[in-house]
Chains A and B, each alone.
Chain A
Amino acid sequence: MFSKRHDSLRVQLLLWLLIPLLLLFVFNAWLSNRAAVAVANGAFDRLLSASAEAIAEDVEVQDGAIKVDLPYAALQLLESNMQERIFYRVVAPDGKTITGYDDLPMPTRAMPAGDESLPYRADYRGEPVYLVALSKQLYGAALAAPVTIIVAETGEARQALSHRIVADALLRQSLLIAAAAVLVWYGLVRGLRPLERLRASIAARPTSDLAPIEAAGVPSEVRTLISALNHHTARIERLQSGRQQLIADASHQMRTPLAEIRTQIEYTLRQSDPVLLRQTLTDVHADVSALGQLLSQLLLLARSDPDASPDQRIEPLDLGRLVQSTTLEFVAAARRREIDIAYDAPAQRAEVLGNPLLLRELIGNLLDNAMQHGRHGGHVVARVIADYGVALEVEDDGPGVPEDERARVFERFFRGKGRESPGSGLGLAIVRNIAESHRARIDLRVGSDGAGLCVRVTFQAAPQLGTGTTSRAPAPVASGAGTPVAWNGPETPAAPARPRSP
C-alpha cells in the first residue's frame, strides 16, 4: 500500500515540492532569526545610547571636580521593561568610578572618535549583559581626558522582541507552505483527472475492442503516450486479424481433404472388395501424408510471420554454404523426378546476417516449389550471387508464372488458373514471410532460357554489426498496396512471360 502510494504521480510531485520547501523553510528560519536579532539589538542599543547621552548631559565639572547629578528621567528611560535590570557607571579619566556600579566592565575595544557610542557585550555578575559606552570631554576639569559613561541592561526585552519577529515570520511561511501544498494537491487532482477518465474508459473496454484510444481532451504530454499505445494496438490488431484469417484458411484447407478421406474410407468400408481396400489405403496414405505436410507448412507459416515471431537470433552466415547444403538435401527428391539439380556458387564468399534455420526453410521452400512446378526431367538451379549485393536465386524451366499472377503467388493457398497444384499452396507465403523478416526483397522473373520461373531473393548489404549475434531488426513497414514484398516486376531485359499452357 505504502509503496503503491509512492508510485502515485500525485504523491511524487507533492513530495518533490514539499521536501525542498521544508529545507528552504529551515534555512529561512535561520536567516530570519539572524535578522530579527540584529533588528532588536539595533533598537535597544539606540535606547541605551540615548540613556548614556542623557547621563552624559548631567556630568559637569564643578570647582575642578567631576559631578554627576543623575536625572530621574534618564533612569526612568532605562526602566522601560519591568523584568530588565539596568546598570550604569560613570568613570573618571583616571579610571575611578565617579558614580554607579563600579564593577561594570569597561569596553575592551578603543572608544570611537567623537561622541559616538560603542555598543558591546560582556558578562556581569554571572549573566550576559548588553552595554553601551560613551565618552564625554569635560572642560575645566583637572584632566584633559574624557569621562566614560557606561549603561548596561540584561537582554530579556530584546530577546523577547527578536523571538516575536521570528515567530511572526515563521508563522507566515508555514501558512504559505500549507497553502501551496493544498493548491498543488488540488491542481494535481484536477490535472490528472483526464488520465483517470482515460484509465476508466480503457478498463471498461471489452477485450476484443482494439479500436484506437480517443486522444481528445487529454494533455499533450499524455497524447504522445496514447499515440504510442494506439500504434502498438494497431500492430496487435493486424497480427490478430492475420492469425484469424490464417486459422480460417487453415481449417478450410484441412476440412476439404479430411472430407475426401472420410468419404473414401466410408465408401470402401461398405464394399468387400480387397482390391478396392488396398487402393483406398494407398490413396488415403498419400492424402494423409499431404495433410501432414500441409500442417507443418501452416505451423512454419505462422512461426515465420515477421509480425508475430519473437526475436529470432540472427548471425552472420555463409549463404553459399547454406544454399549448397540445402540443395543437397533435395537431390534425392529431384532425381526421383529426373530433374537435373545444380548449384552455382558465388564468385566470392556471400555473407548475410540471418537466422540459419529460417533461411534454410526459405531455400527449401523455393527448391520444393521449383520441383513441384518445374518440368519433369527438367532443370532446377540454385544460385548464390555476390557482386554488388548478396542474392540467391532458384530457377526452374517449367511453364513459369504468367505476369498477371506473379504478385499473387505469395498469397497463401493461391493456386494459378486451371492448375491442379500438388503443393500445399503455402511455400511462397513462407518464403515471403522469411524474406520480409530478413529485410530481403523478392523478385520473380522468367528463367534464363526464356522459360520457367526464377525467384530472386536479394539481401540488404550486411551492416557492420560485428560478429556477435544480434537481435532481429524490425521488419520494414510494408509499402504500397497489395503484397508487402517490395515488388519490382520482371527485371529488364526480360523475355515476355509465357502463359502456362499444357
Chain B
Amino acid sequence: MRLLLVEDSLKLATWLSRALQQHGFAVDSIHDGAQADALLRTEKYDAIVLDLSLPSMDGLVVLQRLRESGVASPVIVLTARGDLEDRVKGLNLGADDYLVKPFDLSELEARLNAVIRRAHGVSAPVVCLGPLQYESSGRTFTIGGRRLNLRPKEHAVLEVLLLRTGKVVSKSALHDRVFSMDAAAGQDAVEVYIHRLRKQLVDTGLAIVTLRGLGYVLEAA
C-alpha cells in the first residue's frame, strides 16, 4: 500500500512515517502544499494523509484540486485547527475522514485501514471476532473450528453484525439487509432471528447485545 504523508512539521512527519512503515505502508513524506499538489498530478497513492496548514498551499486547496482532477484516492485530513466549521468544510471538499491533532496513532492506522478497505470495496477474506471466524469465499461461520449451521436469514444477520464489529447496527438497517424490499415482514421479524442467533451463540463467549433505541452490536466477551 502506497501512502503519501503531507505534513509540514518535520518531527511529526518523521515519527508518523516510521510508525506507518512499521504498520506496513510504503510512505512518501512531503512537507509542502504546492509540492504535494505537483506530485499528486503524476503519482498514484492508495491513501493520502493530509495536514491542512501547509506552506505555499493550504491543505484544503490541495484537497480541492485533487478532487477536481478526478483522483479518488482516500484522503484523511489532519489538522490542528480543530474548528467545527473547518471539519465540515474538509468533509465537503471530499476528505474521507478527519483527525484533530493530537491523535492516537492506532486511531490513524485504524481509519487508514478503513478508508482503504472502503475505497477498494473488498473485505478481508477471513474476518474474526474472538472464537468466531467467517470466510467470505465459502460464506461459512465457524466457532472454535466447529461449523455453525445457520438458516439463510440467520446467516445474513450474523454476517452484517460481524462485518460491522464494534459498530451498532440498527434494527431497520438489519431489516433492510436481510429482507428483500417486497417482504411483508415487519421490523420485529429481526428480533426473531436475533433470538435464534443468541441461542446458537450460548456459551461461545460471543454475545449480541441489544442497545435500546440504537440497535445491536456483536461482542466477544
A binding-site residues for B, Cβ under 8 Å:
288-289, 292, 296, 299, 303, 324, 327-328, 331-332, 335, 340-345, 357-358, 361, 381-382
Partner of B88, one of A335, A344, A357: A357
Residue of A nearest to B166 (CB): A332
A292: B residues at CB distance < 8 A: 101-102
Question: What per-residue 1/0 map shows which CB atoms of B83-118 lie under 8 Å from chain A?
Answer: 011001000000000001110100000000000000
B104: A residues at CB distance < 8 A: 289
Q: Size class of B's contact patch?
A: 10 to 19
B214: A residues at CB distance < 8 A: 324, 327-328, 331, 341-343
Docked CA distance A288–B167 (Å): 27
List 8 tightest A-B contacts by C-beta distance, closest first: A343-B213, A342-B212, A357-B84, A292-B102, A331-B168, A343-B214, A342-B213, A328-B168
Docked CA distance A381–B101 (Å): 30
Q: Is A357 in contact with B212, judged by CB distance below 8 angstroms? A: no
B166: A residues at CB distance < 8 A: 332, 335
Give 5 A-B pairs besides A327-B214, A335-B217, A382-B213 with Cβ atoms closer than 8 angstroms: A328-B168, A331-B217, A342-B212, A358-B84, A361-B84
Q: Is A331 in contact with B211, judged by CB distance below 8 angstroms? A: yes
Docked CA distance A83–B152 (Å): 133
Closest chain-A Cβ to B97's Cβ sits at a distance in Å of 14
Closest chain-B Cβ to A76's Cβ sits at a distance in Å of 104
16 chain-A/chain-B pairs, Cβ below 8 angstroms = A288-B102, A303-B84, A324-B214, A331-B214, A335-B166, A335-B209, A335-B217, A335-B219, A340-B209, A341-B211, A341-B214, A342-B213, A343-B212, A344-B213, A357-B84, A382-B213
Q: Is B211 in contact with A342, judged by CB distance below 8 angstroms? A: yes
Q: A331-B167, A335-B219 are in contact. Are A299 and B211 (CB under 8 A)?
A: no
B binding-site residues for A, Cβ under 8 Å:
82, 84-85, 88, 100-102, 104, 166-168, 209, 211-214, 217, 219
Docked CA distance A296–B103 (Å): 11
Closest chain-B Cβ to A438's Cβ sits at a distance in Å of 15
A331: B residues at CB distance < 8 A: 167-168, 211, 214, 217
B100: A residues at CB distance < 8 A: 296
Docked CA distance A358–B88 (Å): 13
Residue of B nearest to A355 (CB): B84
**Of listed B85, B168, B209, residue having the most chain A CB within 10 A:** B168
Residue of B nearest to A343 (CB): B213
Closest chain-B Cβ to A57's Cβ sits at a distance in Å of 108
Docked CA distance A342–B168 (Å): 11
Majority SS of interface residues in chain B?
loop
Docked CA distance A324–B211 (Å): 11
Q: A331-B168, A335-B219 are in contact. Are A296 and B82 (CB under 8 A)?
A: yes
B167: A residues at CB distance < 8 A: 331-332
A327: B residues at CB distance < 8 A: 213-214
Docked CA distance A412–B213 (Å): 32
Residue of A nearest to B101 (CB): A292
Closest chain-B Cβ to A222's Cβ sits at a distance in Å of 40
Partner of B102, one of A289, A328, A358, A361: A289
Q: Is A357 in contact with B168, judged by CB distance below 8 angstroms? A: no
Closest chain-B Cβ to A257's Cβ sits at a distance in Å of 14
A299: B residues at CB distance < 8 A: 82
Q: A289-B102, A331-B168 are in contact. Are A357 and B85 (CB under 8 A)?
A: yes
B102: A residues at CB distance < 8 A: 288-289, 292
Closest chain-B Cβ to A59's Cβ sits at a distance in Å of 110
Closest chain-A Cβ to B182's Cβ sits at a distance in Å of 27
Closest chain-A Cβ to B45's Cβ sits at a distance in Å of 28
Residue of B nearest to A379 (CB): B212
B219: A residues at CB distance < 8 A: 335
Docked CA distance A184–B84 (Å): 58
Q: Is B213 in contact with A340, judged by CB distance below 8 angstroms? A: no
Closest chain-B Cβ to A495's Cβ sits at a distance in Å of 23
Partner of B211, one of A296, A340, A345, A358: A340
Docked CA distance A288–B103 (Å): 10
Docked CA distance A289–B107 (Å): 12
A381: B residues at CB distance < 8 A: 212
Docked CA distance A335–B166 (Å): 9
Closest chain-A Cβ to B114's Cβ sits at a distance in Å of 13
Docked CA distance A13–B48 (Å): 67
Docked CA distance A381–B213 (Å): 10
Closest chain-B Cβ to A317's Cβ sits at a distance in Å of 14
A382: B residues at CB distance < 8 A: 213
A341: B residues at CB distance < 8 A: 211, 214
Docked CA distance A361–B100 (Å): 15
Docked CA distance A289–B103 (Å): 8
Closest chain-A Cβ to B110's Cβ sits at a distance in Å of 11
Closest chain-B Cβ to A391's Cβ sits at a distance in Å of 16
A288: B residues at CB distance < 8 A: 102
Partner of B213, one of A289, A296, A335, A345: A345
Docked CA distance A343–B219 (Å): 19
Closest chain-B Cβ to A310's Cβ sits at a distance in Å of 11
Residue of A nearest to B102 (CB): A292
B82: A residues at CB distance < 8 A: 296, 299
Q: Is B217 in contact with A344, judged by CB distance below 8 angstroms? A: no
B211: A residues at CB distance < 8 A: 331, 340-343
Docked CA distance A351–B91 (Å): 25
Docked CA distance A487–B82 (Å): 32
Closest chain-B Cβ to A333's Cβ sits at a distance in Å of 11
Residue of B nearest to A295 (CB): B102
**Of listed B82, B213, B219, residue having the most chain A CB within 10 A:** B213
Closest chain-B Cβ to A291's Cβ sits at a distance in Å of 8
Closest chain-B Cβ to A282's Cβ sits at a distance in Å of 13
Docked CA distance A358–B214 (Å): 22
A289: B residues at CB distance < 8 A: 102, 104
Closest chain-A Cβ to B22's Cβ sits at a distance in Å of 16
Closest chain-A Cβ to B164's Cβ sits at a distance in Å of 11
Docked CA distance A221–B209 (Å): 71
B101: A residues at CB distance < 8 A: 292
**Of listed B166, B212, B217, residue having the most chain A CB within 10 A:** B212
Docked CA distance A289–B84 (Å): 20
Closest chain-A Cβ to B115's Cβ sits at a distance in Å of 18
Closest chain-B Cβ to A342's Cβ sits at a distance in Å of 4
Residue of A nearest to B214 (CB): A343
Q: Is B217 in contact with A324, judged by CB distance below 8 angstroms? A: no
